[in-house]
């Protein structure tokens, strides 16, 4: 869903396409590609060679169809030369919960993009307008998803406004997601995920590493704050994927811009560090249960430096199954996210409130342009989600999601940027994606029984997003 088949030239499979991600998971479960699937964007060079070498004739129909969709998408997006696209997204109320394949962040946005691809260089200039409230008419210029990427040996070096999703969750990612708009950044990642040939390291199996630095521009209390991010993902055994990540804030107004501070990991009352850091570990295990591909996953995010005690840990747990339905996998997902930090890693009876995305040294916290960089419901919130997603033979995708959200707590009233006072909201959402030859139409309808304050009461919402290949 989202930008299905309409991203234009790109060296990656990009964040936002639920069908593409489902296909990647299906192929990994079948053993046709490796199991490094939780670090997006995902370079095509990490997927395509293995698929081209695979014996697809020996695979079930659903796996063959997924492979052909992925190969077709990769071929289109790596076709040499220029391509153009345009998009328009309108809604009366943007989705409160922003998942992997969510649509717009505001009530209106439009964009025109010119893309270029060659064997060594990929680039996109995407220029658009974004408004949070159509009634005010205040529109901001947006260069979201513009980039320049260059192949340098076995690495891909890039700069631009790139959207990331780090973690196994389908509904939420705790430290880095698509909830906030992408910031200007420069980064590097591996072109493929093949195992290392070095002794001992080869035991880790296929692996990926990515690092980038971003500038947190826009309205902030502390100007020129730098966002740093590093993630390593390994696939040491069939079905097992482990990710380790660190994100942080450094430099900025009122802070010395000393690179050595990045390596100051200790943070205690007697030795306080000068950065704002988050450490993440996530694990996903996939296995066939009675012939049905299934996966269970967890993600833990520590706000403090200690991994076990006084860790300030947020949690995400989930499971998904890909059940055959009319020859196509129906993805059923249950996921729970909790950003009320536990004092120790699993001390659910002992909590630290207003801690997960807030920092005394950086009062803006882990937020960018008014939205949390990770979990879409911000500090001290809990979200239970049930989701079903299915695509037919023509690529039409149907998705239904039920959310129960508890946003904020009485212990930290005012700390949550989604709602200044605690609320509980139930949301029923339906999605419908229709890909055609030259355009894709996405439709969303939802109802919720309450709203983030200062608004109150029942809220129906509709959203339409049109993406056109020009």
Residue 216 clears pLDDT 90, i.e. is over it: yes
Question: Which parts of 112-265 fold into alpha helices (H)?
Answer: none
Contacts of 53 (CB under 8 A, 6+ apart): none
- Return the residue matching tokens 């249960």: 289
Interval 29-67: pLDDT, tens: 999 999 999 999 999 999 999 999 999 999 998 899 999
**Residues 439-463: what's their mean pLDDT?**
97
pLDDT, position 264: 77
Taking the C-alpha atoms of residue 339 and residue 312, their distance in angstroms, rounded to an integer, is: 10
pLDDT, position 8: 63
Taking the C-alpha atoms of residue 334 and residue 302, their distance in angstroms, rounded to an integer, is: 23
Half-sphere exposure for 217 (CA within 13 Å, toward CB):
10
pLDDT, position 200: 84
Both structure tokens of 80: 């040499």
Span of 189-193, 312-316, 317-321, 357-361 with lowest mean pLDDT: 357-361
Interval 14-28: pLDDT, tens: 999 999 999 999 999
Both structure tokens of 76: 């289109």
- Which SS3 state, helix, strand or coil, does residue 255 take? coil
pLDDT, position 267: 63
Query: With pLDDT > 90 as the criterion, what percentage of the chain qualifies?
Result: 83
Taking the C-alpha atoms of residue 164 and residue 178, their distance in angstroms, rounded to an integer, is: 6
Q: Are 179 and 169 in contact (CB under 8 A)?
A: no
H helix or E strand, kind and range, residue 152: strand 147-152
- What's the DSSP call for residue 196? P
Taking the C-alpha atoms of residue 134 and residue 106, their distance in angstroms, rounded to an integer, is: 9
Residue 4 clears pLDDT 50, i.e. is over it: no
**Residues 369-380: what's their mean pLDDT?**
97
Residue 1 clears pLDDT 70, i.e. is over it: no
Average pLDDT, the chain: 93
- Return the residue matching tokens 């293995």: 50
Taking the C-alpha atoms of residue 160 and residue 146, their distance in angstroms, rounded to an integer, is: 6
pLDDT, position 7: 54
Interval 129-139: pLDDT, tens: 999 999 887 88
Q: Are 151 and 191 in contact (CB under 8 A)?
A: yes
Half-sphere exposure for 200 (CA within 13 Å, toward CB):
0
Q: Are 143 and 168 in contact (CB under 8 A)?
A: no
pLDDT, position 47: 95
Interval 249-306: pLDDT, tens: 999 988 888 888 888 776 666 566 788 999 999 999 999 998 899 999 999 999 876 7
pLDDT, position 2: 39
Q: Positive or negative, the Cα torsion across 88, 89, 91, 93?
A: negative
CA angle 48, 52, 54 (to 5 degrees): 115
Residue 235 clears pLDDT 90, i.e. is over it: yes
Interval 292-333: pLDDT, tens: 999 999 999 998 767 888 889 999 999 999 999 988 999 999
Classify residue 463 as exposed, middle or buried by CB count within 10 Å of its CB (0-12, 13-18, 19+).
buried
- Return the closest-CA partner of residue 331 out of 2, 11, 29: 29
**Residues 359-367: what's their mean pLDDT?**
92
Residue 388 clears pLDDT 50, i.e. is over it: yes
pLDDT, position 3: 39
Fold classified for 12-469? Porin (2.40.160)
- Residues 357-369 as b/e (b if ≥16 CB within 10 A, e otherwise) read bbbeebebbbbbb
Contacts of 427 (CB under 8 A, 6+ apart): 96, 97, 401, 402, 403, 404, 405, 446, 447, 448
- Return the closest-CA partner of residue 393 out of 67, 62, 23: 62
Residue 6 clears pLDDT 90, i.e. is over it: no
**Residues 390-411: what's their mean pLDDT?**
95
β-bridge mates for residue 102, sequence order: none
Torsions phi, psi for 400 (to 5 deg): -130, 135
Classify residue 22 as exposed, middle or buried by CB count within 10 Å of its CB (0-12, 13-18, 19+).
buried
Taking the C-alpha atoms of residue 308 and residue 328, their distance in angstroms, rounded to an integer, is: 42
Q: How far does Cα 109 stand from its chain's mean position?
A: 20
Rg over CA atoms, the chain: 21
Both structure tokens of 287: 């296995």
Taking the C-alpha atoms of residue 65 and residue 329, their distance in angstroms, rounded to an integer, is: 11
pLDDT, position 270: 59
pLDDT, position 458: 98
- Return the closest-CA partner of residue 139 out of 186, 90, 95: 90
Interval 90-113: pLDDT, tens: 999 999 999 999 999 999 999 999
């Amino acid at each position: 869903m989202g930008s299905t088949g309409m991203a234009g030239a790109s060296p990656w499979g990009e964040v936002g396409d639920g069908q593409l991600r489902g296909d990647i998971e299906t192929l990994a479960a079948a053993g046709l590609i490796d199991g490094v699937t939780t670090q997006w964007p995902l370079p095509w060079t990490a997927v395509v060679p293995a698929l081209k070498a695979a014996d697809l004739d020996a695979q079930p129909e659903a796996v063959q169809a997924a492979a052909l969709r992925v190969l077709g998408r990769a071929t289109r997006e790596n076709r040499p030369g220029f391509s153009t696209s345009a998009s328009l997204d309108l809604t009366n109320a943007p989705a409160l919960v922003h998942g992997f394949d969510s649509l717009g962040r505001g009530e209106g946005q439009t964009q025109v993009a010119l893309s270029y691809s060659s064997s060594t260089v990929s680039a996109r200039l995407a220029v658009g307008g974004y408004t949070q409230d159509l009634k005010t008419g205040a529109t901001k210029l947006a260069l979201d998803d513009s980039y320049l990427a260059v192949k340098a040996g076995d690495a891909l070096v890039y700069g631009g406004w790139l959207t990331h999703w780090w973690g196994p969750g389908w509904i939420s990612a705790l430290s880095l997601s698509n909830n906030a708009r992408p910031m200007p950044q420069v980064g590097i990642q591996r072109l493929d995920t093949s195992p290392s040939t070095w002794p001992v390291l080869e035991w880790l199996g296929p692996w990926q590493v990515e690092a980038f630095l971003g500038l947190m521009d826009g309205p902030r209390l502390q100007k020129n704050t730098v966002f740093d991010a590093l993630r390593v993902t390994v696939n040491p055994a069939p079905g097992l994927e482990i990710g380790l990540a660190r994100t942080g804030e450094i430099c900025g107004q009122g802070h010395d811009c000393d690179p050595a501070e990045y390596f100051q990991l200790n943070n205690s009352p007697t030795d306080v560090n000068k950065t704002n850091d988050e450490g993440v570990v996530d694990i996903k295990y996939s296995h066939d249960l009675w012939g049905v591909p299934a996966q269970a996953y967890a993600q833990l995010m520590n706000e403090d430096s200690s991994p076990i005690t006084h860790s300030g840990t947020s949690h995400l747990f989930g499971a998904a199954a890909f059940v055959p339905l009319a020859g196509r996998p129906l993805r059923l997902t249950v996921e729970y996210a909790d950003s009320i930090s536990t004092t120790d890693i699993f001390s659910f009876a002992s909590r630290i409130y207003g801690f997960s995305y807030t920092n005394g040294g950086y009062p803006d916290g882990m937020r960018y342009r008014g939205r949390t960089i990770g979990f879409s419901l911000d500090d001290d919130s809990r979200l239970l989600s049930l989701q079903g997603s299915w695509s037919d033979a023509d690529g039409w995708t149907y998705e239904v999601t039920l959310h129960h959200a508890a946003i904020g707590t009485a212990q930290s009233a005012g700390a949550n940027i989604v709602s200044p006072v605690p609320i509980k909201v139930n949301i029923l959402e339906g999605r419908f994606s229709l890909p055609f030859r030259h355009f894709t139409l996405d439709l969303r309808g939802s109802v919720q029984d309450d709203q983030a304050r200062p608004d109150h009461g029942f809220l129906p919402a509709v959203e339409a997003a049109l993406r056109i290949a020009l």
